[in-house]
Chains A and B, each alone.
Chain A
Amino acid sequence: MAATSTIDIDREKGNFHYDTQYNYDAGTGLNEDTIRYISDVKGEDQWLLDFRLKALKIFESKALPTHWATKDLENINFDKIRYYLAKGQKPSRSWEEVPDDVKETFERLGIPEQERKFLAGVEAQFDSEAVYSNTKEALAKEGVIFIGSTEGLKEHPEIFRKWFGKVIPTGDNKFSALNSAVFSGGSFIYVPPGVKVRQPLQAYFRINAENFGQFERTLIIADEGAEVTYMEGCTAPKFETTTLHSAVVELIALKGAKIQYITVQNWSNNVFNLVTKRGMAMKEAEIKWIDCNIGSRLTMKYPAVILKGEKSRGEVLSIALANDCQHQDTGAKMIHAADETTSNIIAKSISVGTGRSSYRGLVSIPKHLKDCKNNTECDALLINSNSRTDTYPAISVRGDGNSVQHEASVSKVSAEQIFYMMQRGLSEGEAMSLSVNGFVNDLISQFPMEYSVELKRLIDMEMEGSVG
């Protein structure tokens, strides 16, 4: 296997597991006691316990969205999941202090090495809590806060509480309610006015335990004129049983701020990945989601931007690769709520073998707004006749001064194309990989370097592995 200088997230590399002793364990199943346990262990204020308990009620009252989403959701057994597992409550500031077995995990994933190379700060979450969190000194001096959300709540309640749950209300959907009830871990970032963080901040989410649910909560606030890029990676070992990952991520870009949020999702294919991600862009602010989904059994994720301030911009660049037995149900939402706002969605999906990909998009521009623009492109590539792709765009654009552009395409890599490439000497896997790379190339070239290289390598590996 070729060495890589970037985020190491190939599936086999993540497929290992150490037995770990947890000092904090909320047991199996979900009820009020589970939540009281979590809140108690974390030493939370009453308001937060109340918030969690209310969220549990909402979670219980909401049905699974199987009237539009896949029935595979019914295979999640909420009673068999462990909702909170942690070794300790406070992340270390240096890798030396991280417990050996946990450190070993992140060493194997190459996280400390990348931190030295090109990251401004790293947070590493192991099951329910961050075990390591560190920001370069220069950034801390400028007032940049990058810590776990558990710490964020304790140390900066005035900022945290002001924005927490404001972009994604508890009752937004069943899984945002679940997250609100049991959330733990995730990142809290605050970038003060005018501060431009040049190097990316990175979080790495690791699921280690079986029958476990990871429910991190991330909140990123870029104050006026600030800029920040956040990247997240994830892996889990392959278990026979299902694992649940249900995060809530809220971004707030204040006037003129820019947030870029990059995800390379590479969960093992026993993971249900049901994530709610949404950002709010104030006047002249910009939020960009780069969302790449390669792993998981089922992913349902539609990063959104609420364009709240005039001239704000929202963008989603999405790549989904659904291999055998995977369903990537991804897309984007753009909610225009001010004049002269622009949004751009480019989504590319690849379905291989029995893999299935769905695109769901929502673009809303109400009648009273003027000079708003949206561009949506969604392209699907099918490799092999068993694969399936669906597109569900919902575009509601009213008013005369607004414009919208929508293009969609489905293409296929035919047996003749594969034969043609093989006649030139390429193996079947190389031929498929080349056509997939060709399909996503123009989009990947817009990603930061470290990520485009890694993603291409990951696609190559997936395609090599898909040749039966």
Chain B
Amino acid sequence: MNSLEVKNLSVVIEGKKILDDFSLTVPKGEVHALMGPNGSGKSTLAKALAGHPNYTVLAGESLVDGKNVIGLSPDEIARSGIFMAFQYPSEISGVSIANFIRAAITARLEEDEELQATQYYKHLYEKMDLLKIDRKFTSRSINAGFSGGEKKRCEILQMMMLEPKYAVLDETDSGLDIDALRIVADGVNSMRGPDIGILVITHYQRLLSYIVPDRVHVLYNGHIVRSGDKGLALELDEKGYDWVKDELAATA
């Protein structure tokens, strides 16, 4: 029950089947890494789990602590506890980071609850300090004119503020230099604990030196072909994805 359980998921985009009978379970308290070559379906999984309207789910379930969220609208899925850190976060001009996160938190409150502004800012500044985001950023429009690293840090900031049950980080390492990578990893690591399950989607092993996963899965042609411990990531880094492909070809 205490897990994000993806069962037999098949996803089509623009008539093309990208995920095929995909299954994966991320229990609370664990960090799983999903690795795979370009075009293997990594980002499709993230978008489909978040309920993106362009991704059609043909079959399967996505159970958040036992409750299937496939078919719900993106905001309902979000409020059920799934957070996705975007590979390419959208810019929204005129909407400040502080107001955006506040709106997102408010959307989660019960009708008779109210957000305490001073508490909120205290909490926000705390997390920003941790991610080494200048406090001046609170009044900047979300992602507008941000560098790649700033955008990713802003994604992690939102994750920290929204405290999801499960987080899917979609190629959060892409476009980051080593310093930014460390900061982002520190942020994610600070959230690790029994109340959250994290799925790190990445092409490279690099990020996994900083966010050390409990389990590593390899995605190829729309489903998981191998699973193992963190050693699998190192092995992949060494041998490349062709190794997996060749192995599969040999057993076929």
Contact = CB atoms under 8 A, between A and B. Distances in A.
Chain B associates with chain A: yes
A441 interface: yes
Contacts of A440: 94
Interface in A411-468: 411, 414-417, 419-428, 430-431, 434-435, 437-442
A441 B94 contact: yes
B90 A438 contact: no
B107 A420 contact: no
Contacts of B100: 421, 424, 434
A439 B94 contact: yes
B86 interface: yes
Interface in B36-90: 50, 52-53, 73-75, 77-79, 83-84, 86, 89-90
B107 A425 contact: yes
Interface residues of B, number: 29
Given A420-B86, A423-B50, A438 B94 contact: yes
Given A425-B108, A434-B95, A414 B90 contact: yes
A433 to B, nearest CB: 9
A296 B110 CA distance: 36
Interface string B206-219: 00000000000000
A435 B92 contact: yes
B113 to A, nearest CB: 14
B147 interface: no
B205 interface: no
B108 A411 contact: no
B162 interface: yes
Interface string B82-125: 01101001111111000111011001100000000000000000
B95 A425 contact: no
A438 B98 CA distance: 12
B94 A426 contact: no
A422 B75 contact: yes
B90 A416 contact: yes
A411 B75 contact: no
A437 B99 CA distance: 11
B92 to A, nearest CB: 6
Q: Is the interface of B mostly helix, strand, loop or mixed?
A: mixed
Interface residues of A, number: 25
Contact of B93 (A411, A424, A426): A411
Interface centre among A419, A434, A442 (most CB of B within 10 A): A419
B158 interface: yes
B141 interface: yes
A437 B92 CA distance: 11
A388 to B, nearest CB: 21
Nearest to B96: A438
Contacts of A417: 90-92
B94 A424 contact: no
Contacts of A419: 50, 52-53, 74, 90
Contacts of B95: 434-435, 437-438
A426 B84 CA distance: 14
A394 to B, nearest CB: 28
B87 to A, nearest CB: 12
B90 A424 contact: no
Contacts of B107: 424-427, 430
B115 to A, nearest CB: 13
A435 B89 CA distance: 15
Nearest to B80: A425
Nearest to B161: A424
Contacts of B84: 423
B73 A422 contact: yes
A420 B141 contact: no
A425 B109 CA distance: 11
Given A420-B90, A425-B78, A434-B103, 5 more contacts: A417-B91, A424-B104, A425-B162, A430-B103, A438-B141
Interface of B: 50, 52-53, 73-75, 77-79, 83-84, 86, 89-95, 99-101, 103-104, 107-108, 141, 158, 162
Closest 5 CB pairs of A and B: A438-B94, A438-B95, A420-B90, A422-B74, A424-B104
8 contacts: A417-B90, A420-B90, A422-B75, A423-B50, A423-B83, A423-B84, A439-B94, A441-B94
